[in-house]
């Protein structure tokens, strides 16, 4: 089974914020696969799907961003035999708006959600898809990532979410190497 985890913060207050692009991607994948998040399990909203004959679990942690590792570790403990079958999708302020970067392993890069996952799993060896949400201009980092996209940014964000969803599906069907070659 493959697992796609989109990081974000739960609740309407955080909907459409920069920090929640991971949630947007797994929502898009769920829509493409014709499933809905209908269960709460592993301290997350989950949806089971079939993607070209490959079982996949879509996950949206409910632990808030900085504690994402709690949920991801529970999913890993009960559903995963190999961490290379887990793709974590996360925002990245160090990438320009719209840019995707997929890696099979890597550091947290200052992202507290990834850091929480690394600490709980005890390793950096899991795939991640970073999504550029733009650098901090004048706002503080927290205000920036918890802020919503400007109306003129939304078309680029929507296109990025679509490409990221396609990359996640490619990860499920063909593996991390193919996804990296096609979407990096």
Residues assigned a catalytic role: 19
Strand, coil or helix: 170: helix
CA distances from 162 to 25, 122, 134, 165 (A): 7, 31, 17, 5
Characterize 105-138 residue by residue with b for buried, 16 or more Cβ atoms within 10 angstroms of its Cβ, and e for exposed: ebebbebbbbbbbbebbeebebbbbbbbbbeeee
């Amino acid at each position: 089974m493959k697992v796609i985890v989109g990081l974000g913060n739960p609740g309407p207050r955080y909907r459409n914020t920069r920090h929640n692009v991971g949630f947007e991607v797994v929502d898009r994948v769920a829509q493409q696969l014709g499933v809905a998040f209908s269960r709460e399990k592993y301290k997350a909203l989950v949806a089971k799907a079939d993607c070209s004959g490959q079982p996949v679990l879509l996950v949206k942690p409910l632990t808030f961003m900085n504690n994402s590792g709690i949920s991801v570790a529970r999913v890993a403990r009960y559903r995963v035999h190999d961490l290379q079958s887990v793709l974590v999708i996360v925002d990245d302020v160090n990438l320009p708006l719209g840019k995707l970067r997929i890696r099979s392993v890597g550091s947290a890069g200052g992202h507290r959600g990834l850091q929480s996952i690394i600490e709980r799993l005890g390793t950096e060896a899991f795939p991640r898809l970073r999504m550029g949400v733009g650098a901090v201009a004048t706002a503080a980092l927290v205000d920036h990532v918890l802020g919503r996209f400007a109306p003129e940014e939304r078309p680029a964000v929507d296109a990025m979410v679509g490409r990221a969803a396609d990359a996640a599906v490619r990860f499920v069907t063909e593996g991390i190497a193919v996804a990296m070659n096609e979407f990096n």
